[in-house]
């Protein structure tokens, strides 16, 4: 009997370099990708998480090569062969998928361990999955549990006390280059959440001015006002580069927005005054060849891993506590899920035993015409007790804990269904 399970496929900053992550074939936003995912044969429930550091799909279905290939094609389209994708993609099922999701929600799998941003991203992705009717009862339960696991870890450990977000890590890198940032002019390319977080940290470090450039000028104005900064259109980008010291780019553009040949004449105007770029967009916004120019320093999102070494010892200590909690909560969820898979079989066992008892009891009672109502009730009670005693050992066998995991639990269910003639459980 084929068994449904949780299946999770994805890529992240640990497994996949940025030049491969750029080949993800999903359109922007959640609506269209979720509808595509929902329509994949074999996906009973589905969820999609897409951030600058990871893209993951989580579905309920029957694990197997056929569904795996469809999910890989969903992620990469024709941009990479399936064999090439498998070099970078991770694939978890069952308990391993649950454990991975809990690690992600707890920020144990983040570029910056302990950062708080990932939980908000998980919740936002879940809202879309719920809105488009992609998440059903199993994913609803699992995702809500992942949120409570993250909350428990925040409460019981200090994992967030010494951690920073991606944006603050970018600012820390700027401080390592320039030292004091109080006399620096900052240009933000993009007006999204990552740009806003970067601005918060930069202002906190005393940056003298913040300018926001965005394709939608009204959004640039709105964000700039929050920090007493200035707004600019993308048409002014090269002019703004002449005044800036630090450029943090986090747009959602599908292609490079600033090339080496465009910046080269700007450096002459600046008299080669240093220009520091941090590209935290995926796909990348900035031409990697900018690094070839003198006095230009370009770092992309993968380079930020060097910054997060700060406070690693303390974070690792708290991460050990958090990992223990994740493992504990994974085990609890697995037991709940196994109980869910046992329930139909247990109900059918009771139903079949009761039906046999009633049938045989009616045959006997039809021949015992002289018994009283009290005696009749006693016989019915006895028949029920016999059925319960017969079922006691099979039910204990089903419910017993062992080290075989969910696969062994499924085997036990199949054994009981075969022995008691309950069929394969697929009948409607």
Are 187 and 239 a contacting pair, CB within 8 Å?
Answer: no
* The predicted structure's pLDDT at residue 104: 96
* The predicted structure's pLDDT at residue 163: 47
The torsion angles phi and psi of 9, rounded to 5 degrees, stand at -120, 145
163: which residues sit within 8 A by CB, 6+ positions away?
Answer: 107, 112, 113, 114, 115, 116, 311, 315
Domains within the chain, CATH numbers bracketed: 5-162 (3.30.460.30), 166-309 (3.40.50.720), 389-428 (no CATH)
* The predicted structure's pLDDT at residue 71: 94
Task: Name the token pair of 150.
Answer: 């993250």
- pLDDT > 90? residue 2: no
Report the SS3 class of residue 253.
Answer: coil
pLDDT in tens, 138-160: 999 999 999 999 999 999 998 87
Q: Rounded to whole angstroms, how far apart are CA atoms 303 and 281?
A: 12
174: which residues sit within 8 A by CB, 6+ positions away?
Answer: 181, 184, 202, 246, 276, 278
Are 46 and 135 a contacting pair, CB within 8 Å?
Answer: yes
**Does the predicted TM-score (pTM) go above 0.75?**
no
* The predicted structure's pLDDT at residue 151: 95
- pLDDT > 90? residue 282: no
pLDDT band at 1 (very low <50, low <70, confident <90, very high): very low
Are 55 and 49 a contacting pair, CB within 8 Å?
Answer: yes
How much is the average pLDDT of 337-365?
A: 80
Query: How much is the mean pLDDT over the chain?
Result: 86
Return the exposure string of 136-173: e unless at least 16 CB atoms fall within 10 Å of the residue's CB, then b.
Answer: eebbeebbebbeebbebbbeebebbebbbbbbbbbbbb
3-state DSSP of 66-134: HHHHHHHHHHHCCCCCHHHHHCCCEEEEHHHHHHHHHHHHCCCCCCCCCCCHHHHHHHHHHHHHHHCCC
- pLDDT > 60? residue 405: no
Q: Which residues are catalytic?
A: 52
pLDDT in tens, 299-335: 888 887 666 666 567 778 888 999 999 999 999 998 8
- pLDDT > 50? residue 341: yes
């Amino acid at each position: 009997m084929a068994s449904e399970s949780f299946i999770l496929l994805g890529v992240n900053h640990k497994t996949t370099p940025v030049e491969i992550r750029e080949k993800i074939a999903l359109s922007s936003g959640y609506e269209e990708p979720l509808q595509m995912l929902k329509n994949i044969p074999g996906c009973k429930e589905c969820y999609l998480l897409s951030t600058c550091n990871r893209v993951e799909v989580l579905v309920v279905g029957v694990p197997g090569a056929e569904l795996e290939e469809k999910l890989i094609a969903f992620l990469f389209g024709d941009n990479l062969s399936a064999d090439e994708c498998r070099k970078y993609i991770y694939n978890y099922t069952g308990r391993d998928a649950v454990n991975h999701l809990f690690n992600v929600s707890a920020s144990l799998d983040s570029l910056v361990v302990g950062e708080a941003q990932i939980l908000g991203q998980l919740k936002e992705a879940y809202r879309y999955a719920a809105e488009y009717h992609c998440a059903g009862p199993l994913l609803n339960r699992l995702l809500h549990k992942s949120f409570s696991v993250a909350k428990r870890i925040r409460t019981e450990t200090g994992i967030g006390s010494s951690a920073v977000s991606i944006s603050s890590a970018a600012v820390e890198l700027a401080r390592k280059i320039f030292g004091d940032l109080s006399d620096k002019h900052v240009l933000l390319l993009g007006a999204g959440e990552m740009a806003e977080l970067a601005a918060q940290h930069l202002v906190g470090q005393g940056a003298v001015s913040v300018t926001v450039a965005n394709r939608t000028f009204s959004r640039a104005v709105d964000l700039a006002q929050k920090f007493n900064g200035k707004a600019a259109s993308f048409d002014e980008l090269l002019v703004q580069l002449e005044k800036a010291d630090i450029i943090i780019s986090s747009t959602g553009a599908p292609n490079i927005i600033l090339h080496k040949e465009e910046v080269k004449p700007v450096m002459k105007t600046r008299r080669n005054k240093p220009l520091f770029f941090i590209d935290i967009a995926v796909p990348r916004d900035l031409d990697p060849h900018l690094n070839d120019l003198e006095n230009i320093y370009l770092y992309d999102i993968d380079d930020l891993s060097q910054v997060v070494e700060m406070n690693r010892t303390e974070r690792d200590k708290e991460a050990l506590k958090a990992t223990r909690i994740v493992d504990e909560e994974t085990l609890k969820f697995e037991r709940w899920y196994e109980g869910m898979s046992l329930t139909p079989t247990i109900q059918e066992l009771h139903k079949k035993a009761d039906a046999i008892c009633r049938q045989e009891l009616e045959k006997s009672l039809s021949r015992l015409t002289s018994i009283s109502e009290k005696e009749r009730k006693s016989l019915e009670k006895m028949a029920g007790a016999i059925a319960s005693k017969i079922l006691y050992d099979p039910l204990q066998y089903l419910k017993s804990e062992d080290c075989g995991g969910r696969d062994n639990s499924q085997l036990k269910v199949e054994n009981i269904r075969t022995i008691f003639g309950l069929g394969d459980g697929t009948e409607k």
